[in-house]
Chains A and B, each alone.
Chain A
């Protein structure tokens, strides 16, 4: 029984230029303690998927229009559909069972309160306790995420901290009530490479320590390879390929995944005159998707029927989700 199973999650943005299918029938599951990576280019629906799980899609213009998010809230009872909970019930799930950290550490903390106050708020929202108890938990959390002299740092304001420190504080805030699932939306994108590695290490360590499941949304395949066990590749609101890290990196079957992997800058110096591999074109306008496969216009293997028929989950019977009629090794 997976901890979380998402079925046909569909989130649309109702904009002036039409209905944007930001998340278009996404299904996946997540086991307890598992780390799942969601990758794809900007604007392919990764973040919207994470926000939909939290039911924090900006509304208007967004709305979750369909699907189920089944969460094993109790050990004994059946799973509960988060989309059916009342606002108040969902509020109790957020932060306590299902937490989220955001991309931009510069703006993820409220500038007018100390970081200690902000972590304390997250604790008080769900667990309460005396001022002293909360304060000591705040200090514990700060030291857990590797902030030196946590008792003094708790009185700092966000602008007194560096980006990496703020991301640590964000993680402390999100984990303060020991959630079972942490959704991390591009947690390292805005950080220096050396700091990125530290934050990823921290996430991995805390995940193991808390026995927590992690959903890592990123466009950085390196990050996914380092942290995740399973990977979902998204394109234009749909999952195009799903597999273990090994499968995705060693045997990518979807042309889009193959393109993404080719576009990783090689460590060796390119010989002069050669160009860096890219996927031609851009993500199509999600408000006006073409018929058939959304990747067709950029795909090197495109054929006639790609533009006519909707591609099912696994048309080539490879045994996992590969949304392509011509899935094959490169």
Chain B
């Protein structure tokens, strides 16, 4: 019990969790994968683009990825690239294609050095679409789950803390929400409001909070009778403070697990919606719409299904494993 004497230097709570988390190598690999994915999503324009990242033309530097310089307006970049005049220098992104650039000379090209993941039926580079599609998938996952967690935590805390008729009202509301076939509700709502990435985020978030609310309510019911919560009240803390500072942080472990599963679920829902054509507009590449378009070439172009399919699979698996490791790391009962 007297562990403090073994570690005279006290640790931060986050350091404690990190030390626990690190014990699972697989989880660390998954976390790195998720981090790389996030970096790719943020940096997509610098990774896959048909414009140079940095170029020197007519004696001036510019970053055409961000803003096309006035001097280059009307200039055929492709012409410039294949036949650069003296004094012109350009640094291209690792993938030299935009998701929207059609290369009709190489339609349905198998993976090669030029197109590492091949091209689709319109001659678009699959790697470029994959990189840009990660933006949609990740942002939908994170924002939708953010909305769901915010609603769920709020309602769950209030229901669990105050109990009585408030609890009954919230619990019945949760049960009603659970009874809806969520996916069809989302489809129906999107049919009305029109498919845009923001609508998808909101609809998934607003329908996906019930699990979090139940978890938080349960934790809150359990923690409300715990002595440190009583002690906080006994030292004169307001309800809000007891809830937010003493109950909420102690009920975050299951929420985090649920959130990482939720992100995985939201990515799947978005992919399914895009697959069905209710997702993001076709101008915006997403993993789901890539799969959808791959259907017609399934028997001749395996890379069109394998690549986005694997991306979805690995992303979801990584989130799930990170969530599980996080749960184990946060649980003080498992701490050794």
Contact = CB atoms under 8 A, between A and B. Distances in A.
Interface of A: 54, 56, 58-60, 91-96, 99-104, 107-114, 121-122, 125-126, 152-153, 155-157, 159-163, 165, 170, 173-174, 176-177
Contact of B16 (A91, A107, A157): A157
Given A108-B227, A112-B250, A162 B235 contact: no
B228 interface: yes
Contacts of B235: 94-95, 99, 121-122, 125, 173-174, 176-177
A148 B4 CA distance: 12
B154 to A, nearest CB: 20
A173 B237 CA distance: 13
A107 B3 contact: no
Contacts, number: 102
B231 A100 contact: yes
A148 to B, nearest CB: 10
Contacts of A113: 13, 245, 249
A152 B10 contact: yes
Interface in B9-37: 10-11, 13, 16
Given A103-B227, A113-B245, A159-B332, 14 more contacts: A54-B234, A59-B163, A91-B238, A94-B234, A100-B234, A102-B231, A110-B246, A110-B250, A112-B250, A125-B237, A157-B10, A165-B4, A170-B231, A173-B231
Contact of B10 (A96, A114, A125, A126): A114
B225 A108 contact: no
7 contacts: A91-B238, A93-B236, A100-B234, A108-B231, A113-B13, A174-B235, A177-B235
Contact of B1 (A92, A95, A155, A163): A163
B8 interface: yes
Given A112-B249, A160-B4, A162-B2, A125 B236 contact: yes
Contacts of A125: 235-237, 241
Contacts of A156: 4, 10
A161 B4 contact: yes
A177 B237 CA distance: 13
Contact of B234 (A95, A107, A152, A162): A95
Contacts of B335: 159
B216 to A, nearest CB: 15
B230 A56 contact: yes
B187 interface: no
Nearest to B335: A159
